[in-house]
Chain A
Amino acid sequence: MNGPAEPSPLGFLWRLITYSPWRYLLAASAWAVFHLWPLLPGVLGKLLFDVLEGRAPAGITVWTVVAVAVGAGLARCVAIVGATVAWAGWYLRARGLIQRNLLALVFRKPGAQPLPAAAGENISTLRDDSDAIAMMGGWGFDMMSGLIFAGGGLAILLSVDVQVTLVVMAPLAVVLVLAQLARARAYRIRVRSRAATAQVTGTIQEIVSATRAIKAAGREREVVARLRRDNEARKTAMIRDKVQSLAIDSVFNSTASIGSGLILLLAAGRMRSGEFTTGDFVLFSTYLMQVADYTSFMGYLVRTYQQARVSFVRAAAMLPGTPSRTLVEHHPLHLREDASLTTVPPEPEPLRELEARSLTHVFPGSGRGVREASFTLRPGTVTVVTGPVGSGKTTLLRTVLGLYAPQDGDIRWNGERVDAPGDFMVPPRVAYTPQNPALLSGTIRENVLLGLPDDGRVERAAALAVLGPDLERLGGGLDTEIGVRGVRLSGGQAQRTAAARMFARDSALLVMDDLSSALDVETEQELWRRIFATSATCLAVSHRPALLERADQVLLLKDGRIVAAGPLAELLRTSPEMRTHYRPAPPTRSRQCHV
Chain B
Amino acid sequence: MSTARPPMTAGTLLRAYVGSQPAAVAVMAGLLVFSIGLEIAEPRIAAHFIESVQLGRAESTLVGIAAVFLAVAVTRQAARIVSAYASERVSWIATNAAREDLTAHVLSLDLTFHESRPPGELIERIDGDVNQVAEFFSSLILHIAGNVLLVLGILIALATLDWRVGLTFTAVTILSYLALSRIAGIAGLKWEDDREQSARFFGYVGEATLATEDLRSSGATGYAMARFHRHLRAWLPVKVRAEGWGSAIWVVLSIAFTAGTAIAFGYGGVFYRDGVVSLSGVYLIVAYAAMLNTPMEVLRHQVQTLQQAMAATRRIAELFAHRSSLADGTATIPSGPLSVRFDQVSFGYGPDNESADGMVMREVSFDVPAGTTLGLVGRTGAGKTTIASLLFRLYDAGRGRVLVGGVDVREAALASLRSRIGFVPQDVQIFDATLRENLTFFDERADDRRLLEILDVLELRPWLEGLPDGLSSRISPGTLSAGQAQLIALARVFLTDPGLVVLDEPSSRLDPVTEAQVERALDRMLAGRTAIVIAHRLDTIRRTDQVIVLDTGAIAERGATAGLLADPGSRLARLYQVGKVLT
Residues of A within 8 A of B (CB): 41, 44-45, 48-49, 51-53, 61-63, 65-66, 69-70, 72-74, 76-77, 80-81, 83-85, 87-89, 92, 96, 99-100, 103-104, 106-109, 112-114, 116, 119, 122-123, 126-127, 200-202, 204-228, 231-232, 234-235, 238-239, 242-243, 246-247, 250, 253-254, 257-258, 260-262, 264-265, 268-269, 271-272, 278, 281-282, 285-286, 289, 333-335, 338-341, 343, 346, 398, 401, 403, 422, 425-427, 430-432, 434, 437-441, 450-451, 484-485, 498, 501-502, 505, 511
Determine the distance from Cα of A212 to Cα of B103 in the docked complex, in whole angstroms. Answer: 14
The 8 Å CB contact of A268, one of B59, B204, B208, B229, is B59
From A96, A250, A403, contact of B77 by CB (8 A): A250
| Residue numbers in B under 8 Å from A211 (CB-CB) | 106-107, 111, 114
**Could you tell me the distance between the alpha carbons of A509 and B521 in the complex, rounded to whole angstroms?**
59
Q: Is the CB of B217 within 8 A of A432?
A: yes
8 Å CB interface, B302-321 against A? none
Whether A239 contacts B53 by the Cβ 8 Å rule is no
Docked complex Cα distance between A216 and B114 (Å): 14
Contact flag A69-B261 (CB < 8 Å), given A126-B205, A265-B70, A438-B214: yes
A-B pair count, CB < 8 Å, reads 406
B559 at the interface (CB under 8 A from A): no
B59: which of A206, A231, A269 is its contact (CB, 8 Å)?
Answer: A269
Digit string of B245-265 for contact with A (CB within 8 Å is 1, else 0)? 011101100110111011001
Docked-complex contact B423 and A450, CB < 8 angstroms = no
Given A217-B423, A235-B92, A281-B50, does the pair A246, B123 have CB atoms closer than 8 Å? no
The smallest beta-carbon distance between A232 and chain B, in angstroms, is 7
Q: Output the nearest chain B residue to A97 by Cβ-Cβ distance.
A: B232
17 A-B residue pairs with CB within 8 Å: A51-B269, A70-B258, A76-B258, A87-B243, A88-B244, A89-B236, A89-B240, A92-B239, A107-B221, A114-B212, A119-B206, A212-B425, A246-B85, A258-B74, A265-B63, A341-B226, A450-B215
Q: A154 → chain B, closest Cβ, in Å?
A: 21
Top 10 A-B residue pairs of the complex, sorted by shortest distance between their CB atoms: A73-B258, A62-B269, A451-B223, A218-B418, A257-B73, A261-B70, A438-B211, A84-B247, A264-B66, A222-B442
Closest chain A CB from B119 CB (angstroms)? 4
Give every chain A residue within 8 A of B236 (Cβ-Cβ). Answer: 89, 92, 335
B202 at the interface (CB under 8 A from A): yes
A215 touches B84 (CB 8 A): no
Question: How far, in angstroms, from A250 to B491 measured CA to CA in the complex?
Answer: 55
Stretch at the interface among B13-21, B278-286, B561-569: B278-286
Q: Is the CB of B213 within 8 A of A112?
A: yes
Bound form: Cα–Cα A346–B220 in Å: 12
The answer, yes or no, to whether B46 is at the interface (CB within 8 Å) is yes
Q: Are A123 and B107 in contact (CB-based, < 8 A)?
A: no
Which chain B positions have C-beta within 8 A of A334? 226, 229-230, 232-233
Smallest Cβ distance from B132 to chain A, in angstroms? Answer: 14
Among B1, B46, B53, B229, which residue has its beta carbon within 8 angstroms of that of A221?
A: B1
Chain B min CB distance to A326 (Å): 15
Which residues of chain B are within 8 angstroms of A278 by Cβ–Cβ distance?
A: 50, 53, 279, 283
- Residue tally, chain B, CB below 8 Å to A: 127
A253 to B: closest C-beta gap in Å: 7
Residue of A nearest to B414 (CB): A218
A437 to B104: give the CA distance in the assembly, Å.
Answer: 44
Bound complex: CA of A84 vs CA of B190, how far in Å?
15
A210/B431 in contact, CB under 8 A: yes
Question: B28-84: which residues lie under 8 A (CB-CB) from chain A?
Answer: 42, 46, 49-50, 53, 56, 59, 62-63, 65-67, 69-70, 72-74, 76-77, 80-81, 84
Is A235 in contact with B229, judged by CB distance below 8 angstroms?
no
Select from chain B the residue with minimum beta-carbon distance to A278. B50
Cα distance A201–B243 when bound, in Å? 34
Q: How far is the CA of A83 from the CA of B565 in the complex (A)?
A: 83
- Complex CA–CA separation, A49 to B272 (angstroms): 10
User: Which chain A residues lie closer than 8 Å to B226 at the CB level?
Assistant: 334, 339-341, 451
Could you say which residues of chain A place their CB within 8 Å of the CB of B72? 257
Nearest chain A residue, comparing its CB with the CB of B393: A215
Alpha-carbon separation in the docked complex, A426 to B287 (Å): 74
User: Contact: B223 with A92, CB < 8 Å?
Assistant: no
Q: Which of B93-101, B351-359, B367-375 forms part of the interface with chain A?
A: B93-101
Residues of A within 8 A of B104 (CB): 220-221, 224
Other A-B pairs, 5, CB within 8 Å; known A223-B107, A285-B287, A485-B207: A70-B258, A99-B205, A99-B228, A211-B111, A438-B213
Q: Are A123 and B243 in contact (CB under 8 A)?
A: no
B266 sits at the interface (CB 8 A)? yes
Which residues in B have their C-beta under 8 angstroms from that of A218? 414-415, 418-419
